[in-house]
Amino acid sequence: MNADPARGPLADGQSLGGAVAAHTAELSPFLADLAELVCCESFSSDHEALARSARTVAAVGRRSLGAEPETVVVDGVPHLRWVFGEPRVLLLGHHDTVWPTGTIHQIPWSVTHGVARGPGVFDMKAGLVQIFHAVAALRSREGVAVLIVGDEELGSPTSRPLIEDMARGLAATFVTEAGGENGAIKIARKGISRYELLVHGRAAHAGLEPEKGVNAGVELAHQILAITRIASAVESSSQAGLLSVTPTLASAGTSTNTIPALARVAVDVRVPDLASQTRVDELMRALTPKTPGARLELLGGPNRPPFDEESSIGLFREAVRLSAELGLPPLTGVSVGGASDGNFTAGVGCPTLDGLGAVGGGAHAADEHVLVDRMPDRVRLLTALVESVLAR
């Protein structure tokens, strides 16, 4: 570990005075917690790693909050929640990451010149640290709930009911997913649908009796072309560029001399509104085979509803006001294509503000990083937002 958090705002070779030493002392608790979380890997598909991560997150949270979480395990995936009194505000995050177990050896935890690196540091373990420190700083925790789930990167298949049940009827949900560029708050997110189209054909020897086969690979090619036309059939002029229907991972066949009996393609869908999501779903289910004898099977469907600005605008205005009062850098808002669990809370009618977590970049990439000197400011903003909502 190369921990030199105070060097971030300084030029190389500049001496460290008393103010910088105080800044270092302020950052030390954040870095200690962040190091512990990052070094405990938590790949979404590795249940043993998730169990270890849940225990580590619970320990870090316990130190800040002085309370044990409830651990909810659904289909082998652990989720953690702390509830203080009758909830009015939910702080939401996830402890799973996209990084396979062992990545820590290729991308080790480090802090150099104020930049922290390591698998999951930006998405979103720094956000978890900020939740714990923000709640710890509250004058009263009465009315606050914290939920940290273990399968967000997979689309939250086991945690969605927990998220929606906890958010329903609350005054606000604050999601500490990483911020946008320069720490922009995420005030809208597209909805997501995920599909897998299976094409069933009939195998035959490609050299001896090709005419007896039904080539699922050829049929898949027809379907991929049809899928790429769906977006233009749905989007209006006002939605241009906002809706996408994208075939991604595809495969067909079992050997080079066999007519493929099975082919498949994954389809990623991003939509700006619920009507578009519904219409895309209808068109996906209306696909028909072009090759005689082929059969289609569609799996999946809508995953996360769109999260629009109506759900966030009031909270965002409050965040801008509080940021100015606290003397923090001016806040900006951004709409993004990626979804989060904030889509679920907004979808059940709970006012939601997202992207309140780390300032940095490189989500899901080898250069994932966090600007550690921005963490205290984000904690102060989150604390102020929670107290503002609770005071209403």
pLDDT on residue 27: 76
Q: Where in the chain is the domain with CATH 3.40.630.10?
A: 5-190+306-390
| Number of neighbouring beta carbons within 10 Å of residue 60 | 21
Choice between 362 and 12, residue whose per-residue pLDDT is larger: 362
pLDDT tens digits, one per residue of 21-46: 454 566 788 999 999 999 999 999 99
Catalytic residue among 41, 96, 153, 235: 96
Provide mean pLDDT across the span 187-192. Answer: 95
Contact 177, 343 (CB under 8 A): no
Q: With a cut of 70, say whether residue 10 has pLDDT above it.
A: no
Per the annotation, the verdict on 152 as an active-site residue is yes
What angle do the packed helices 18-39 and 126-136 form, to 10 degrees?
120
Distance CA 3, CA 179 (A): 23
Peptide bond into 166 cis (omega under 30): no
Q: pTM score, two decimals?
A: 0.86
- The stretch 327-355 carries a mean pLDDT of 95
Furthest C-alpha separation in the chain: 83
Q: How far apart are CA 199 and CA 296, in angstroms?
A: 5
For the domain made up of 191-304, give the CATH fold.
Alpha-Beta Plaits (3.30.70)
pLDDT tens digits, 245-299 = 999 999 999 999 999 999 999 999 999 999 999 999 999 999 999 999 999 999 9
Q: What H or E segment, with its residue span, contains residue 19?
A: helix 18-39
How many angstroms separate the CA atoms of 327 and 380, rounded?
11
Confidence at residue 240, expressed as pLDDT on a 0 to 100 scale:
67
What does the alpha-carbon distance between residue 135 and residue 87 come to, in Å, rounded to a whole number?
Answer: 13
Q: Please give the mean pLDDT across all residues of the chain.
A: 92
Strand order from edge to edge, sheet including 70-74: 70-74, 77-84, 144-149, 89-94, 172-175, 352-353
Catalytic residue, chosen from 33, 41, 151, 152, is: 152
Please give the pLDDT value at position 83.
98
Q: Give the tens place of pLDDT for each residue, 205-248.
A: 999 999 999 999 999 999 999 999 999 999 875 666 789 999 99
pLDDT number for residue 11: 32
Instruction: Write down the residue that tokens 């904690």 correspond to.
Output: 379
The class level of CATH for 5-190+306-390 reads alpha beta
Tokens standing for residue 179? 């911020």
Alpha-carbon distance 264 to 104, whole Å?
33
Residues 75, 77: Cα–Cα separation, whole Å: 6
- Contact at 8 Å (CB) between 111 and 1? yes
Report the chain's C-alpha Rg in angstroms: 24
State pLDDT tens for residues 83-125: 999 999 999 999 999 999 999 999 999 999 999 999 999 999 9
pLDDT, residue 216, reads: 98
Calculate mean pLDDT across residues 149-162: 97
- Helices of type H across 43-197: 47-65, 126-136, 160-167
Q: Is a pLDDT exceeding 60 seen at residue 162?
A: yes
Which pLDDT score, from 0 to 100, does residue 392 have?
A: 86
Residue 18 or residue 341, greater confidence: 341
CA pair distance 215, 294, nearest whole angstrom: 8
Tokens 């195998």 correspond to 203
Known catalytic residue: 373? no
Delimiting residues of CATH 3.30.70.360 domain(s) in the chain: 191-304
DSSP class of residue 5 equals G
List, for residues 353-383, the tens digit of each pLDDT value.
999 999 999 999 999 999 999 999 999 999 9
pLDDT tens digit string along 307-318? 999 999 999 999
Which amino acid is present at 269?
V
| Model pLDDT, residue 238 | 60
